[in-house]
Amino acid sequence: MNIDGVSALVTGGASGLGRATAEALVAGGAHVVILDLARSDGAAVAESIGAHFVPADVSDEGEVEAAVAAAVELGPLRVAVNCAGIATASRTVGRSGPHALELFERTIRVNLVGTFNVTRLAAAAMAENEPIASSVLPGVPETPERGVIVNTASVAAFDGQIGQAAYSASKGAVAAMTLPLARDLSTLLVRVMTIAPGIFETPMMAGMPDEVQASLAAQIPHPSRLGTPAEYAALVRHIIANPMLNGETIRLDGAIRMQPK
Q: What are the residue ranges spanned by the domains of the chain?
A: 7-252
pLDDT band at 258 (very low <50, low <70, confident <90, very high): confident
State phi, psi for 129 to the nearest 5 degrees.
Answer: -75, 155
Ranges of H-type helices in the chain = 16-27, 42-49, 61-74, 101-108, 114-126, 165-176, 178-185, 203-206, 210-218, 229-241
pLDDT band at 257 (very low <50, low <70, confident <90, very high): very high
Q: What is the pLDDT of residues 71-84, one digit of tens each?
A: 999 999 999 999 99
Residue 225 in 3-state DSSP? Answer: coil
Q: Is 107 exposed, middle or buried (0-12, 13-18, 19+ CB in 10 A)?
A: buried
- Looking at the predicted structure, is the pLDDT value of residue 136 above 80? no
- Looking at the predicted structure, is the pLDDT value of residue 145 above 90? yes
- Looking at the predicted structure, is the pLDDT value of residue 56 above 80? yes
Please tell me the pTM assigned to this model.
0.95
Average pLDDT over residues 155-174: 95
Average pLDDT over residues 236-241: 96
Residues 6+ apart with CB under 8 A from 54: 33, 34, 35, 66, 67, 70
Please measure the distance between the N-terminal and C-terminal CA atoms of the chain and give it in whole angstroms: 40
The per-residue pLDDT of the chain, averaged, comes to 95
- Looking at the predicted structure, is the pLDDT value of residue 209 above 80? no
- Looking at the predicted structure, is the pLDDT value of residue 193 above 90? yes
- Looking at the predicted structure, is the pLDDT value of residue 202 above 90? no
167 is catalytic: yes
Residue 36 in 3-state DSSP? Answer: strand
Q: Which of 104, 167, 200, 232 is catalytic?
A: 167
DSSP secondary structure string for all residues of 147-214:
EEEEEE--GGGTSPPTT-HHHHHHHHHHHHTHHHHHHHHGGGTEEEEEEEE-SB--HHHHTS-HHHHH
- Looking at the predicted structure, is the pLDDT value of residue 208 above 80? no
Q: What is the pLDDT of residues 219-238, one digit of tens each?
A: 899 999 999 999 999 999 99
- Domain 7-252: which topology? Rossmann fold (3.40.50)
